[in-house]
Each structure stands twice: as C-alpha cells, then as structure tokens.
Structure 1
Amino acid sequence: MVSFSPLPSIIIEPIVRNALLEDLGKAGDITSDAIIPLDHKATLALKAREVGIVAGLDLAAFAFMLVDPSIDMHIWRPDGCDVAAGETIARLCGPARSLLAAERTALNFLCRMSGIATATAAMVEAVRGHKARIACTRKTTPGLRALEKYAVRVGGGANHRFGLDDAVLIKDNHIAIAGDIGTAIERARAAAGHMVKIEVEVDTLEQLETALALSIDAVLLDNMSLEDLARAVAMVGGRVITEASGRVTPRTAPAIAATGVDLISVGWLTHSAPILDIGLDASIDGNCRHKHLN
C-alpha cells in the first residue's frame, strides 16, 4: 500500500491563492455574477471521466475555501484512491457563484496532479517484481515542484532531489568544465558537508570505473544500453546506489529494472504527463440539499 503524507497548508495556500488571483483578476467572475442570483445555492460533484488515481484534493478544497468559506466539501475518494470513469470523487455544496468562481482553479490542480499520480502508478506497476523504484526529477513546472513531487509520491513513486541544494549531482557539463571526472568528484567531496550525498553521472563503463575509485554515494547511469546497465550494476556490486535514466517508458522500464538498478528516474512524469480528466457537474435541480457535508 502506498504511504504518503499530505502537504502542509503553509505550502499549498499561497500557491492556490496566487492561482485564484490570476483567474479572478480585478473584477471576479463577471459571467456568473451576471447570470446567477446572489443567494442561489447549488450542489456539484467532482467526477472522474476516466480511470486513474486521485491527487490534489487539498488544493481543490483550498480553492473553494479561499473563495467562500461557507462552501461544504465532502470527499468520497481521497488522494491515492483508484477511481473509475463516472465515479464521484467529492461533492460540494454552497453559493453557486462561489462554486463556479473556484471551479477552474480547483480542477487545474486536481487534473494535473491526478494525471501525474496516474502516470507514476503505471510506471511503478511496470517494474513490479524488481527492486527498482521509480523516481521523478527536477523537470517540473516552475513554482509547482512541491505539488508535482507530492503527486509522484501519491502514485507510489520516489522523489529525487528537490533543488540544487539538496545533494551534489555531478553532470556532464560539470565534468567538462572541471576537466575530468576525478577532479570534479574530488572538488565536490572537499566542499560538501558531512550530510551531503554525492552522485555522479556517467555515460560509459570507463567513467564508472573512475568514479567508483573515488568517494561517491550514487551513480547515474545515463542513456546506457541494457547490456552496459547490467555490466555497470555488476561493477558497482552494491557499493553505491545505481540510478538509470534516459528513454524510460512503461514499455522499456521492465527490461531496465531487470538489470538490477536501484532507481529509474523519469523526467516526463512531471513535465509532460497527461492530465486525468475530471469534471465538476451540477445536480439536475441545481439546489443545495445538504447543509453540512463535512
């Protein structure tokens, strides 16, 4: 069973607040204000329109609450739950104008994060039976990294570093500028604190051999063939963490995992996973029949 903790409110509230300000502009929802009476109440349902995994309900709830604290939201399928097409995820009750004013912002977060969780779960399933864990990268939407990495955790994946200050990751450009891989590693080790891990990216088995002779904690095996990945894992022999990256899809992941690597990093999980289609549907009569849904 996937285990994850919700994001603290102090992280998500300013993100949701800024998104609402972007959408509401300087005059609010002029369409709803013109069409719907001020005192009209409505009941609406968040419904999945395709199979997937829910993530981002806290963001959706914050959107509705920030627009109008009187809105009640009753969650039936919380984050991490599988949903079928047509299944109700949550039901909302409150002033109709307020519900519609928050609708798009709430759905933007919910659809985006549920899409990431769903794509991650598919990758996790693809490597089931192997020790490899699926990890995301820093290829995230600017300003939304915490949310997108949370969605990866909801889908059963692992997070790589959150920023440049989390850990040392020596990549090809660092090596090129330093002159060689040994110099880059030695400089990083001399500067890193005792709590900082060092990972180095290698493209060849020769680079790997050099890196293993120095003090590192993990190695990123970048765009290697399956044969070289298997050789690399054998060379490492469990001394450091092995991470594979490059051209990873649900179709290619099982063979990559079978080489024995510890991690498989997948950038597209956060930069281009498709959304999960979720809609907000009004009840037939449009009336709010539930005073307290929480």
Structure 2
Amino acid sequence: MSLALYSALSGPWAGGLEDERLRALLREDAPHGDLSTRALGLTGRAARIRFQARGAGVVAGIEAATRLLQLCGVAAQPAVASGARVDDGALLLAGQGPAEGVLLGWKVAQNLVEAASGMARGAAAIVAVLRAEGLDTPLACTRKAPPGTHWWAAQAIEAGGAVMHRLGLSETLLVFPEHLALLPAEEVVARLQALRRQQPEKRLVVETGREDDALAWARLGVEVLQLERFTPEAVARLRQALRAEGLTTRLAPAGGVNRSNALAYARAGADLLVSSAPYFAPPAEVQVHISPSDGG
C-alpha cells in the first residue's frame, strides 16, 4: 500500500499525530502569534489564498499544507494531489478564511510544499533517467532526510516515483560495519545466522565497502548486499562473480548514487539503487497570492 493511500485510509489529518506535527511547525514560526498582523489591525478581516506552481514538475506536500491552513481556520482545498505532474502556473491549492489564519499559515505551508516538491522532483529526475532507457531498477531513498522531516519527506519521495529504503531502524535488518566492529570476529557468522533465525520474515542486508568481503557475505547466505561507495565497474565485477557461483544475492549500491551515475549502476547489474540525493535537491518554487475575499 502506498504511503499516500495509507494516509487517506487511516485519516492522519483528522486530529492524529500529523496534526500535532503541523501545529509544532506553526508554534516554531509564531510562538506568540503573528505580531505584524495584529499590529496592522487585520484581525477579523477575510482573505483568500492561492498556491500556484512556478515552473513545471512534480509536486508534493499538498495535503499537509492544506491541512496546516485548515488548522489555522482557513477553508482550504487542494487542487491537485501529491505526485501530480503540473505545468507552470498550475493551481495547487486555494482557500479563504480569517486574515490572521491565512497569514499565520501562509509561509509555513509554502515552505513545506516547496521543500517536499523539491525532493519529489529530485527523485523523479533519477527515476526518469532509468525509465528512459527501459530499466525498471527501483530507486530507494535512505533515512538521511534532515531530522524532523521524515514524516513528510517519505511521502515526497514516493510522489517522485521512488520508494523508501528504510523508514527507520525498527523495521529492517541492516548490519553495518559499525555493528560488526563491536563483535568479536569469531562470533560474527554465528550472530548473523542467529539473526536470520530470530527474524525469518525479514531479509538480511549487510553493508560492505570491499569486493572480497561482499563475495564472502554472499556465500554465507546474506540476501542483500549494500555496496558502500562501490564504483559501477566494481558492481559489475561482483555481479559476474556471483553469477559464476550461482549466487542470487541482490546488489544495492549506496553512497554517492545520483542522477549522473544512476544509469551506470543500473547497467552494471544493481537490483536497486540506494540514494540520499533527492533530499538535497533544490526546493521547488511556489507562488502565493493573498487577497481580500468578497466579504473582506
């Protein structure tokens, strides 16, 4: 089930955890209210607000921004859904309500849509390179989103056509060299075998930065190898070695995977590409129009 569909079915915008997160964003921006709006005497007036795309591309964060404005007392509605491809000038959301609510939520909502849409576009750009060559290699984004943003960054990544590599430490088995460094060398194999017995429904993933170690892990039955900073050429050599031994271990290059080299990694035999690059894509631009409403 997609993250967007899960959100729709579970109703996260109806007073749940996401509402509290949105309120926290508002408190961060206006811990004691909006001084400028009060000082200008705008309280009690009515206003309209419209978000429009400035430039074509994928959009994300629309539902969260709409709900944020609703929490400010604005009757806001989305014009498109996250994941939509829009043209320059396309209407994204619109609403009307008290001027103090419109002005309180305006900038936080705009920042959220711009940041989320930037991530979505970053993911979509990498996916587009792969699909243009007829490759269906998945792009899986890491948990390296800036702290505090994971709850909306994951939806932005999906809106761009990618998937989440890990939603957090609690739901995957990924053994890093940092884990292994804390184990006695003679216990490593036994510990990994015990791990697979204890969590039989989960795939065992081990990260390595060395070609010889990667082949050794595959021989021990590791199901996915996360290949840290491997070159495309190193991935191709490892794929050939695995085939020669009849091993079906999946290969997931990670570290430095981006739009410029994604195709090379996919052609080298990667089963999926692990990347943090979309989180650092430039934000999209959203134009916001605020005006008096008919009753203002």
TM-score in terms of structure 2 length: 0.87
Are the equivalent residues in 1 in contact too, given 2:66–2:78 (CA < 8 A)?
A: no
Q: Is 1:240 matched up with 2:249?
A: yes
- Residue 191 of structure 2: aligned partner: 187
1:1-294 correspondence runs (5 A): 4-5=4-5, 7=7, 8-9=12-13, 10-26=16-32, 28-68=33-73, 71-128=74-131, 129-178=134-183, 180=185, 183-191=187-195, 192-237=198-243, 239-270=248-279, 272-283=280-291, 286-288=292-294
Are the equivalent residues in 2 in contact too, given 1:170–1:200 (CA < 8 A)?
A: yes
In the TM superposition, what whole-angstrom CA distance separates every residue of 1:127-169 from its partner, at most 9, and x where no partner exists? 1122311111111222221211111011100111112221221
CA distance in 2, matches of 1:108, 1:225: 36
Partner SS, residue 97 of structure 1: helix
In the TM superposition, what whole-angstrom CA distance separates every residue of 1:232-266 from its partner, at most 9, and x where no partner exists? 22333462221011222212111111112111111
Are the equivalent residues in 2 in contact too, given 1:185–1:215 (CA < 8 A)?
A: no
CA distance in 2, matches of 1:220, 1:162: 16
Are the equivalent residues in 1 in contact too, given 2:207–2:228 (CA < 8 A)?
A: yes
Q: Which 4+ stretches in 1 moved above 6 angstroms?
A: none
Work out the percentage of aligned pairs sharing the same amino acid.
25
- How far is 1:189 from its partner? 3.1
Indicate the RMSD between aligned Cα atoms, in angstroms. 2.2
CA distance in 2, matches of 1:194, 1:288: 62
In the TM superposition, what whole-angstrom CA distance separates every residue of 1:262-283 from its partner, at most 9, and x where no partner exists? 111111322x222111132124
TM-score in terms of structure 1 length: 0.88
- How far is 1:3 from its partner? 8.8
User: 1:240–1:139: structure 2 CA closer, same or farther, 3 Å change rule?
Assistant: same
Partner SS, residue 195 of structure 1: coil
- How far is 1:185 from its partner? 4.7
Q: Structure 2 unaligned runs (5+)? A: none
Q: Give the counterpart letter for 1:187 in structure 2.
A: R
User: 1:288–1:262: structure 2 CA closer, same or farther, 3 Å change rule?
Assistant: farther
Are the equivalent residues in 1 in contact too, given 2:53–2:88 (CA < 8 A)?
A: yes
- How far is 1:37 from its partner? 3.3
Partner SS, residue 178 of structure 1: coil
Q: Structure 1 unaligned runs (5+)? A: none
Q: Which has the higher contact order (CA 8 A, sep 6+)?
A: 1
Are the equivalent residues in 2 in contact too, given 1:63–1:106 (CA < 8 A)?
A: yes
Partner SS, residue 127 of structure 1: helix
